[in-house]
Structure 1
Amino acid sequence: MATFGACLAIPAIGRAQQNRTTQRADIDANTATAKSLVDAVEPILSSDTASNLQLAIRNYEAFIAANGNWEPPPREAFGLQLGESRRAAALLKRRLMINGDMPLEKRADDKFDEKLDAAVRLFQARHGLNINGHIDEATFYALSVPADYRLNQLKLNAQRIEFWATTLSERYVVVNIPAATIEAVEGAQVVQRHTAVVGKADRATPILNSKIHQVKFNPYWTVPKSIIRKDLIRYMNEDPEYLTKFRIRIFDGKGNELQPTDIDWLTEEAVQYTFRQDPGADNSLGRCKVDFYNKYDVYMHDTPQKGLFGENARFFSSGCVRAENIDTLVTWLLRDNGGWDLPGVQAAFDNGLREDVPLKVQVPIHTTYITAWANRQGTVSFRDDVYAFDAAGKINFTDS
């Protein structure tokens, strides 16, 4: 009896900690499940994805024919999260049942419970949002997009994928611009996925087919004239020590080094000079640059701004592609060169090795524009039309 009584006498704080631990485990499990339903081995550019999209199109057409557009979420749904009880939670459950993010139930109550948390996290994963289980601004916006708009995305992207899928090789890299992600593909399966940062709308990452031919360890960065004109002059007017802080040096056409005070920053005089940033941790290219042939002077690279990879919308660059965990991608690219395993690549980064390594086997790269796709698990994913190519009905893209 003493032992039984002791069990009943657990302090309230102890019970609360147990409940929080249980809830945390449930939330983590919901996030892991959501990710597993979105991630699949088939590449985004593949005949498998094209077939999966056709099934998704039929499902959306059938729903719209029977019901029209689904209802947008009520205002009261904004800010909802686990543990709350509101009528809006019941409406949200019905909405997510329609999407297939939540199993069908005869009656939806008004509790934001673990089942609704799981559904919200799956919805967020499918739309490339931070998986937090909250009806935040980005999630509310995505829930508000009508069904017929999503159907149009599915149809457009089915045609895009069919167009691209015919040109693919055994081994290649895909950058999907709207998703800001990178896939390394081999044998018709994704072997690596990387979060990326791509070009902002007014400095778009170009869509192209090319070949990766070189990896540069701890590179110099030569500032493009467009960035000198649009950014660097403004930065120097705001902070005259900017170039010195970031170890960017100035050279004239004969290779002579100039000082920042030699330039009139109230004019565009700076555009006629070369600005070169020394290698190092603060270099804008990070520890690595991956070159592929193109006429746009864009490339893939590391970055010192790692925090940007955690953003919902990762459109911050001037056209180049920044890759998270680029060390593993570089290892995969250099596998035919010999001597470049992951520890070797990481050591080159950390030790400041300055070396340009041509690939013995060049790897195709495709920068693409896919805003909707589906996998073999039946999960349909969407992204925003950041460059307005969906709005223009664009299917075929001219590359370099």
Structure 2
Amino acid sequence: MNQLNWLAKLTFTLRAGCGALALAGLMAVPNVAFANETDNKEAAQEAIDSVEPILSYETSYNLIAAIKRYEQIVANGGWEEMTRGSYGLEKGDDRGHVRALRRRLIASGDLEDTGRLSSEFDDELDAALRQFQARHGLQLTGLIDQETYLTLNIPAETKLAQLRLNLERVNQVVGELSTRYIVVNIPAASIEAVENGVVERRHTAIVGRIDRQTPILTSKVHEINFNPYWHVPKSIIRRDIIKYMNQDPEYLTNYRIKIYDANGEELDPQSIDWSTEEAVQYAFRQEPGAENSMGHVKINFHNPHAVYLHDTPQKSLFGQNRRFHSSGCVRVENVDELVSWLLRENETDWSLPSVDAAFDSGERMDVGLEKPVPIITTYITAWANRDGVVSFRNDIYGYDEAGRVDFASN
């Protein structure tokens, strides 16, 4: 099976159910015993956190080093496949399958090779497994759950192909980066706010689902809309609102969405035939407020796809592992902090308390950025930091499988 097709198969299965580095030390975990689960989770998260942006010359260098390391792994035969008997392994277990897990994590550099292969699932192994999970964007459970099991069994050859493909993607754009910019990495469903080559803020995001993908683009954030109206796209009227109205005739009323004809006259929802697509010819606008789909703020940048960044009333979605729920736009966790960062160079004070006060006021207000900030939405499924820790994400849109590198047409 083609290496990247293997990764696509994994994705399908889951949908259903700066300095020089010695290659030998790439991705190695410090030989430290952690006191408890909380320590192990924090250490795993710290291992992948880095001030280097995903899009940077430094990441390009780090990827080259990672590729050399994975070439070594492949040349050494890769790693063994975990059997079904390893499913459900967790700290405290003491059986033969634990040895196989140790060999697997040693092969990928998550666990230090001390020359012993104990069958006990101890604290050291728990720390290594949580780092593996962190590197792959999985929940830090310390348990061989379904996603962890499947991810452990992705062949080393597939990982190497991913690294090579993503090096091309990074190199394609790094020469165009400015001093200050934000990056939305779609496969990781995350946002970086970068200045002078350093990540100053990271935000968890929610991006477009597979059938309504967030587009790859480059633009500039030019305006912040506080407490905005939501003008419902016709695609959502057609795909969603008609369906919801057939299920619940009070849906529009409950969510404070009003309908207007071509003359700006408000229409009664009951006057529309919801068994047809009549509704698509009208304008739908949701009022500002707690139910508004954009929450307290919309972050605007010019693009032909009518997408933007925004707040959301559905905060619980940020806690999910697979955050591909939107219709193409990008929802931002702790969006008030990103707004304050974007408006930092305006003469008016837009410190975090000022942004939060604007949210709480409920007042409609548009604020332009006196210095527009570049924004890049990109598709990076593999990257590495200066400590040699290599991160991977699933090929959610199938771009790796298709070998897509040049996104200029988007």
Residue among 61, 67, 75 paired with 1:65: 75
Report the aligned-residue RMSD. Answer: 1.3
Distance 2:89 2:254 in 1: 44
Check if 1:80 corresponds to 2:89.
Answer: yes
Residue among 184, 187, 192 paired with 2:196: 187
Q: Is the 8 A contact 1:118 1:133 kept in 2?
A: yes
- Structure 1 spans left out of the alignment, 5+ residues: 1-22
User: What is the TM-score normalised by the length of structure 2?
Assistant: 0.90
Q: Is the 8 A contact 1:371 1:384 kept in 2?
A: yes
Residue among 91, 101, 123 paired with 1:92: 101
Correspondence list, 1:6-45, <5 A: 26-45=36-55
2:381 corresponds to: 371
Residue among 355, 365, 370 paired with 1:345: 355
Distance 2:409 2:358 in 1: 33
Q: Is the 8 A contact 2:51 2:198 kept in 1?
A: yes
1:356–1:250 CA distance, 2 compared to 1 (3 A): same
User: What is the TM-score normalised by the length of structure 1?
Assistant: 0.92
Distance 1:227 1:25 in 2: 50
> How far apart are 1:279 and its partner, in Å?
0.5
Distance 2:85 2:357 in 1: 52
- Structure 2 spans left out of the alignment, 5+ residues: 1-32
Percent of paired sites with the same residue: 56
> How far apart are 1:105 and its partner, in Å?
2.4
Aligned residue for 2:193, secondary structure, equals strand
Q: Is the 8 A contact 1:208 1:399 kept in 2?
A: no
Check if 1:390 corresponds to 2:400.
Answer: yes
Question: Which stretches of structure 1, 4 residues or more, deviate above 6 A after TM superposition?
Answer: none
Structure with the greater alpha carbon radius of gyration = 1
Check if 1:211 corresponds to 2:187.
Answer: no
Distance 2:363 2:92 in 1: 52
> How far apart are 1:344 and its partner, in Å?
0.7
Distance 1:248 1:219 in 2: 13
Deviations 1:266-289 (A, max 9, x none): 000010011111101111001110
Check if 1:322 corresponds to 2:325.
Answer: no
Distance 2:319 2:280 in 1: 33
1:363–1:399 CA distance, 2 compared to 1 (3 A): farther
Aligned residue for 1:203, secondary structure, equals coil
Deviations 1:187-246 (A, max 9, x none): 000000000000111111010110000001110001100001011111111111111111
2:239 corresponds to: 230
> How far apart are 1:24 and its partner, in Å?
10
Aligned residues: 377
2:57 corresponds to: 47
Check if 1:109 corresponds to 2:118.
Answer: yes
Distance 1:122 1:116 in 2: 10
Deviations 1:277-335 (A, max 9, x none): 11011110011100001000000000011111111111110100111001000001011
> How far apart are 1:78 and its partner, in Å?
1.4
1:25–1:284 CA distance, 2 compared to 1 (3 A): farther
Check if 1:158 corresponds to 2:164.
Answer: no
1:241 corresponds to: 250
Distance 2:403 2:409 in 1: 17
Moved more, 223-232 or 57-66: 57-66
Letter aligned with residue 64 of structure 2? Q
Aligned residue for 2:73, secondary structure, equals helix
Moved more, 377-386 or 136-145: 136-145
Q: Is the 8 A contact 1:173 1:366 kept in 2?
A: yes
> How far apart are 1:106 and its partner, in Å?
1.6
